[in-house]
Amino acid sequence: MRTFKQFAKAKTIPMGHCFEFAWEKARELFRQNQEGTVVHGTITQPFSQPPEKNLHAWVEVSDIVYDWQCMQGGCGGKFMGKGFPKKTFYELFKPKKMKYYTPEQAMVMSIKHGHKGPWE
């Protein structure tokens, strides 16, 4: 498995599945009546020069951030499959312009808009 830094050096960060992944995680939380927060925002790729900003989606449960790249995309390094500690994720990706949704709100927004995000 390649590390996050190896993906960054190769400039091949896997992208494109984060909104679907966050929606699926929200649906799982909703069905299990668990708490969590779906977040849509802009992140900065930490190793790109110049810094590249991308729309992104992730789910926060307690102090863990679950996002597609870390959980399934192969660039989570030691956090692969476990999720990032929230503090590490925020320090590394410096998210901005965030919108927050409960799992129930995420389900409603996907029905209202006909897709899994972004909605606003």
Domain residues of the chain, as ranges? 4-112
List the chain pLDDT tens, one digit each, 120 residues. Answer: 344 454 444 444 445 688 998 999 999 999 999 999 999 999 988 777 788 888 999 999 999 999 877 655 555 566 767 788 999 999 989 999 999 999 999 999 999 999 998 998
Task: Tell me which H or E stretch contains 88.
Answer: helix 86-93
Whole-model pTM: value is 0.80
